[in-house]
Structure 1
Amino acid sequence: MSIRRQLAIGIGLLMIVIMGGNFIINVKQLVAHYEAQLQARADETATTLALSMTQSAERYDDASLRSMVDVIFDRGQFKQVRFDYVDSDKFVARYAPEEDVHDVPYWFQSVIDMQAGYAQEQVSKGWQQLGILSVKMHTAPMYQQLWIMFKAELAWFAIMGLIVVYGIRLLLNWQLQPLQDILVLVDKLARNQFVHIHKQPKSKELVDLVSAMNRLSDRLNASFVAHSETVGRLQQANFDDALTQLKNRRGWEQFLQEWMTENSFRPGWAMLIRIDNLQSLNSEFGQTKVDELLLQIAIFLKTHGSLNQEHVSIARTGGGEFWIFCPDPLDKQFTKHISELVESLTRLSFVEQFCAEIYAAALPVQSVIAPASLKHQLDLLFNRARTEHKTLLIGEMTDHTFTNWVHWQKALVEALNGQHLQLYRQPLFNIEGEIIQYELHSRLKMDDRVMAAGEFWPLVERLKMTREFDERVIELFIKQFDKWQSVDTWVINISGASINQFSFRAWVEETLTADLRKKIMLEFSEYTLANLSGGAENWLHKMADQGLRISVDHLGTSGRNFSFLSRFPITQGKIQRRYIHNINQHTEHRFFVTGMIQILHGQKALCLAEGVETHAEKSMLIELGIDGVMGYGLAEPEHWR
């Protein structure tokens, strides 16, 4: 029982006892008052009537005596009026019959025993006593008046009781609101959301408690950030270049291994950039100046408009050698974009100042090829550019054809309106091997060929149709939802371009019923969350409060400190395959995964692994404490008909 309820009950009972005691005293005072009235009436009637009876009693005139008794008795409120002669057994009397008191409950008469007024008076002449007059009052009228007053007192007691109870409740809510704020803060801290209570309470004790909780939030935040930075530094030490913070050789090799697979491939272009006279620059200007040159090139590549997007990978594999992959639909404009990029690179201030000799080779990649073959072809193309003294050479794959935008736009519109867009589902298993959720994948059927999202999604993004496709996927899921309600969780990936649109968020909020929100988990990439608008971030918190769960995938790819994840109410996170591949053989991968497990568990979120291909990988992940695994090696996506 909460302290608010305990205080409310305690204070309420105390007030009820006080008011109840006051109520009982008031009733008893009313009874005493009515009894006094009855007694005074009896005394007054006996005295007055005794004086009037003297002459009639002296003459033994029973008729006159009866007449006087009748006159008094008929006025009501008398139970008995009786005159007894002293010197004989004769008497004159009038009695009221025993009747129930109308409109007064029997239990009330039993509980309140009201004494009827009774008086005796001697009828005499001089010193001669003639008789005795007895008068007894009837209590029925007083019971009726007392019952009316009792009901009025009871109603007043009930009204005051309600006022007191609700008054106490409002007072306690006002006084103890900081405790509720503290509970909210504790819940957020449990999910590594480090916030403050800004509204100060009135009482000193609660002020001290709120201040202590705010200090605790700061300490936990500092600890969480330090832990996230440690995991980030571990990632950088193994996969990032220390100078430029780009991928190093190991990170680039891992990216190529992951990219050049059927389920992860995206078409685009790859580029090799190299400073050909780096050694002479080191001799002439020194290592520090050359490092400034390399850093300027790295910053330029990371911030250039064409490369500042998700799934772009940039690496410095040593010296002045840079490698780039950029997803691209490979239309007729892609060569122009590459040329503008290299031209801007050669105009950098340090490049011109140090007379750096830069050569570049680019190659469109339309289909999966072996990473070694890709690097070999780029090396050959680069050597040709250097031999021919050309700053840039762009080669072509033998089977490459340019993207026809008119054709693709028509095909994508038809896919939205027809049956070409298909849903596939891939299971995710817990450590016991039980399916705990399904992740939905979209496929596009064109010309008797089924295309994975990685192949057609860059076209969707370029044509700015992400919202239409995300909405269509949700609509297709809803159509089949009734047949699959036994499955607890369905994960649907949403693009960053869609979630940052207010109209899409409004559509989701209107479309997803309470039942659907219990079943659906919206998934966003780490890159999307790192670049989310303020409105979209607030919307995620609002929807999470309404029961919608949030998942984040591709953990470890945005280049951000992992502490930023604490801003989001995530339910689960999925570690990118590059850290899962052959994890049983790489200690640095195990350290990274262990750190991510600790970070996510600190947010009360599940930590999952995607891209698990072998039993050895699965066994090592379970040993490290992973919550669930998925991958083509466990179960491939199946067409969800």
Structure 2
Amino acid sequence: TQITLNGKDGPRCFELSIARRHTRADEAPRFVVLSRDISDRKKAEQELHIAATAFNSQEGMIITDTDHKILRVNNAFSDVTGYSAEEVVNKKPSLLSSGRHDRDFYANMMSDLEENRYWQGEIWNKRKNGEIYPEWLTITAVTDDQEKVTNYVAAFMDITQRKQAEADIHNLAFYDSLTGLPNRRLLLDRLKQSLMLRKRRPQLGALMFIDLDNFKTLNDTRGHDVGDSLLVEVAKRLRSCVREVDTVARLGGDEFIIILEELNQDYQQAALDAELVAEKVVAALNNPYRLKQGDYHGTASIGLSLFDHRDKSAKDLLKRADVAMYQAKESGRNTLRFFDPKIQQELYLQAEIEAELRRALTEDQLELYFQVQTQHGETTGAEVLLRWNHPLKGMIPPAKFIPLAEQTGLIVQVGTWVLENACQQLTRWANDPELNKLTLSVNVSAHQFSASDFVTTVERILQETGANPNLLKFELTESAVLIDVESTADKMMQLKELGIHFAIDDFGTGYSSLFHLKHLPVDQLKIDRSFVRNITDDPDDLAIVQAIIAMAHNLGISVIAEGVETEAQKACLQRRNCNSFQGYLFSRPVPRALFEEYKRMNSNCQEMA
């Protein structure tokens, strides 16, 4: 049997043998006990057990002799490589070589083993089935008592999943997940590298900013999945238009960037070369796309900007190409434009106005003006018009800031401000007998009207101000109502149920309004001033005005003519049964106090008459 006893140096293990000696019957029994200290043997057995357990761990292991012939492998080795122990014993680990590493790589490995008796690093090996995989390998030299190498032990882990995770993280950080193109972050890095190269090379480079025309319309009408399919196809076409040395990136949304490298060092020739590539891109993007819901014909607007050793900022280059792209948009789209420095200054001014307009919303710089609307000679209401009284620049014309507000989306906030203040004015007039029946017409932009929360915003404003919705009229342009007639009609009906009226502004300037008009709950048409201006001299304008008036009356819709400036225009309209007017003949847009004074004077004159 085995027992453990505590000795001076710690527990010791003994093996005991007990034998009974023969004695006479009248003698007491006697025993012989033999003991042997087996502590060292037990320790060796335990170490062997631990070594065996470690050898058959989840890490692949190989033991070789000094000639690098395999003596033993564990089960994990077979699991990772696909080779059994019988297939590799007495062979060299080079049978796993992937071919991805050159002689220098293995020479450096052996040098480290000879010098340090240890090597660790990443290596690519090949499984039995031919699949190449990455592993993390540790090789340790085993030595005897004289420090002579007797064996090598290699332990390795398959790090395929880790490498894939690293690649996924890298792709997420530097590549667009939809198209696989470099994203903004990688684009800026490559653009900075390209600028640095220009310091050592005389060749010019070019930046091409590509924006798909009417992409939002495709997304809104066919769905985002179709829009995504288009973006993927655009990415393929752009890659086919450039060389390997060039970069195609997706900046975001429907915006793409191409960096053209190594163009001619002559500025004019480089411009011609870049223009040829841009024309190739335009042609490629003009070809029809086969999408889920049928063919789609798309176009793109392209801005080009050359750069050389004098350029320093990647972001400035992007701004220049962006400016040129907007020039292409303004030139009718489906075209390309080179950067014009004069436009840059205009953009700086626009950016300044945008920032100041945001401040104007919070610093009480905006003001409502009122332009009289009359019917049969009586003032029935007014159109509210926005004015910006800048503390330093004075009165800024709407033509300078309203289009900018439309472009930036700030028009939604501006429009909400106008609506809130118009409703507050109706509430203030509610207790004045001379003013409490006046209507106010408020212009609503397409951006504002199409907002998903527009109806709830109107409900909130009416509730907070207590304004009478029956005295409120929303003026929508033809272009706004024709974006999506079905959705527009539904939203208009929700607002009509609140009591709000609708007028179509600038009527006659659109193309499909006559066809769609009967489907919309419209109360009034506003004849555009462009027709009224020449009504007494131009037979065509007169015919258009007559047709609008007749059609409106047949549909039970009222008509008001805007831009009336002369008695002759007024009389001409009256003869054709149009008796509602707005224009300088009656009053220019004026502040609230002057409008109220005009209304009171008009009321007094009518009483005297």
Normalization by structure 1: what TM-score?
0.39
The structure in which a higher percent of residues are helix is: 1
Which of 1 and 2 has higher RCO (CA within 8 Å, sep 6+)? 1
**More strand per residue:** 2
Larger Rg: 1
With the length of structure 2 as denominator, give the TM-score of the two structures: 0.41
